[in-house]
């Protein structure tokens, strides 16, 4: 029998050292330093990103995909910065290598994640929340921990899948094997990357709203979107059946069932467009 | 009617509704047969999607209504909670409406 609190420490240690994880490209490391330096101008940042064609392409592609839903085409890094804000741009740059891994490792999970991002954006805008694109980005990253489990904790991941097959709840299977679940793993890694607290907390609490301190609404949006995408059946995750819905999240967001219907009707055309986006990525892989 | 990304559109397909560019300007009316030149121009003007008559392109990932409904049942198997069942009903309505529009 493994000691679960020891295991938890070991997992966190590995995450802290980023062992077995993709390394951030040098340009990203430089970018992070620049963003933290208040003397840096936005133009300097855009210039640096634009020097790296691969990252520029990835960032523009994400900025143009339907989950942000801008009516006009985003064609320069400068525009992306204006529309998405520095926080989101930073996350897109930093995680573009992670997104690569997600869609290479697990296209189903990638589809699920971008569907959740689109839904988060719709809900955040309905509620007139500040920086809806930030919440969409948290939606994009909400299952980051699952990907990390898959690439950096291969043995444990196999064990988790085995337990789920035997009928164990996916979250419990993760906790029993790693000492923490994917929400914690993802949030922990995000905190290592200096991503804003609002996004970290939303990811951390998306299966347990009690873990929030300040951002209960944000976490509720991700939780509800995650549930709605499972209910609609878009992308693939460890759940074959609809997962648990914390009804509390509906109360926190003051969302009624007729509103859920409106959300589904706004979401459906977005999902239709996003399918073309993921199919293109799939074709590039094969 | 089928809504498709620009690069799926072939000359000879007919527009189902007006084609607008990213700034909302109308580039082409409805019921017009598209030509190679028009498509080239749309590309230059940043048009991303066009709705055409009929369903000229078979999208391999599109499911039939029957499949959608039976998968929905499966996802909600053994669910008894009233709120969840109402959400399931909403999705059923969505699917029925979506497919009747396609009709």
What φ, ψ does residue A47 adopt, rounded to 5°?
-60, -45
What is the number of domains present in chain B? 2
Calpha distance A194→A188 (Å, rounded): 10
Range of the domain at B32: 2-52
Residues B12 and B47 in one domain: yes
CATH number of domain containing B25: 3.90.105
Query: Could you tell me if residue B59 is inside a domain?
Result: no
* Lookup: tokens for A99: 């997104």
CB A136 within 8 A of CB A65: no
Calpha distance A30→A14 (Å, rounded): 23
Summarised one tens digit per residue, pLDDT across range A130-183 is 989 899 999 999 998 998 898 889 999 999 999 999 999 999 999 999 999 999
CB A185 within 8 A of CB A15: yes
Residues B80 and B47 in one domain: no
Summarised one tens digit per residue, pLDDT across range A36-63 is 777 888 888 888 888 888 788 888 888 8
> Looking at residues A219-231, what average pLDDT do you find?
98
Query: Could you tell me if residue B57 is inside a domain?
Result: no
**pLDDT grade for A67, boundaries at 50, 70 and 90:** confident
- Which 3 state secondary structure label does DSSP give B26? strand
> Looking at residues A199-208, what average pLDDT do you find?
96
Asked whether the beta carbons of residue B91 and residue A231 sit closer than 8 angstroms, the reply is yes
Query: Could you tell me if residue B70 is inside a domain?
Result: yes
Q: Which of A224, A222, A234 is nearest to A275 (CA)?
A: A234
Residue appearing with tokens 């997600």: A102
Residues B38 and B75 in one domain: no
Residues B48 and B69 in one domain: no
Asked whether the beta carbons of residue A264 and residue B90 sit closer than 8 angstroms, the reply is yes
Query: Could you tell me if residue B96 is inside a domain?
Result: yes
> For residue A2, is pLDDT > 90?
no
> Looking at residues A189-207, what average pLDDT do you find?
90
Residues B96 and B71 in one domain: yes
Residues B91 and B70 in one domain: yes
Q: Is B93 on the interface with A (CB under 8 A)?
A: yes
Query: Could you tell me if residue B95 is inside a domain?
Result: yes
Residues B47 and B6 in one domain: yes
Q: What is the distance in angstroms between the Cα of B62 and the nearest Cα belonging to chain A? A: 9
Residues B48 and B73 in one domain: no
Q: Is the dihedral of CA B1, B71, A219, A80 positive or negative?
A: negative
Q: Is A172 on the interface with B (CB under 8 A)?
A: no
C-alpha triplet A237, A285, A110: angle, nearest 5°: 25
Calpha distance A83→A71 (Å, rounded): 11
Report ipTM (2 d.p.): 0.90
Calpha distance A142→A122 (Å, rounded): 16
Q: Is A215 exposed, middle or buried (0-12, 13-18, 19+ CB in 10 A)?
A: buried
Exposure string (b/e) for A234-250, b if CB count within 10 Å is 16 or more? bbebbbeebbebbeebb
Residues B12 and B48 in one domain: yes
The domains found in chain A, sorted by start residue, are 4-23+106-285 (1.10.3210.10)
Mutation to test the B interface, candidates A264, A274, A281, most B Cβ within 10 Å: A264
**pLDDT grade for A23, boundaries at 50, 70 and 90:** low
Residues B7 and B43 in one domain: yes
Asked whether the beta carbons of residue A257 and residue B86 sit closer than 8 angstroms, the reply is yes
């Amino acid at each position: 029998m493994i000691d679960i609190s020891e295991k938890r420490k070991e997992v966190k240690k590995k995450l802290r050292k980023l062992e077995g994880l993709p390394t951030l490209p040098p340009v990203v490391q430089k970018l992070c330093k620049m963003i933290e330096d208040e003397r840096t101008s936005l133009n300097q940042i855009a210039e640096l990103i634009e020097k790296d064609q691969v990252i520029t392409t990835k960032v523009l592609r994400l900025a143009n995909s339907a989950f942000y839903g801008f009516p006009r085409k985003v064609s320069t890094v400068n525009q992306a910065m204006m529309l998405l804000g520095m926080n989101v741009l930073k996350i897109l740059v930093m995680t573009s290598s992670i997104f690569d891994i997600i869609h290479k490792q697990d296209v189903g999970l990638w589809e699920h994640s971008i569907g959740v991002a689109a839904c988060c954006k719709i809900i955040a805008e309905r509620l007139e929340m500040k920086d809806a694109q930030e919440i969409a980005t948290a939606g994009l990253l909400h299952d980051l921990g699952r990907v990390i489990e898959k690439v950096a904790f291969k043995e444990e991941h196999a064990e988790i899948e085995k337990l789920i097959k035997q009928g164990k709840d996916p979250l419990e299977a993760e906790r029993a094997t790693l000492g923490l679940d994917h929400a914690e793993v993802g949030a922990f890694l995000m905190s290592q990357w200096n991503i804003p607290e609002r996004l970290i907390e939303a990811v951390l609490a998306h299966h347990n709203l009690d873990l929030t301190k300040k951002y209960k609404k944000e976490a509720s949006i991700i939780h509800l979107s995650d549930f709605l995408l499972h209910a609609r059946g878009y992308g693939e995750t460890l759940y074959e059946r609809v997962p648990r819905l914390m009804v509390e999240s509906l109360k926190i967001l003051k969302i009624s069932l007729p509103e859920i219907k409106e959300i589904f009707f706004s979401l459906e055309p977005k999902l239709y467009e996003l399918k073309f986006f993921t199919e293109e990525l799939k074709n590039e892989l094969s | 009617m089928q809504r498709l990304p620009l690069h799926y559109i072939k000359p000879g397909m007919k527009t189902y509704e007006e084609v607008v560019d990213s700034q909302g300007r109308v580039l082409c009316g409805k019921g017009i047969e598209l030509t190679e030149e028009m498509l080239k121009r749309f590309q230059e003007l940043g048009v991303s999607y066009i709705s055409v008559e009929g369903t000229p392109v078979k999208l391999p990932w599109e499911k039939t209504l029957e499949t959608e409904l039976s998968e929905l049942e499966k996802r909600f198997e053994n669910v008894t909670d009233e709120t969840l069942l109402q959400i399931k009903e909403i999705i059923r309505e969505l699917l029925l409406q979506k497919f009747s529009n396609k009709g």
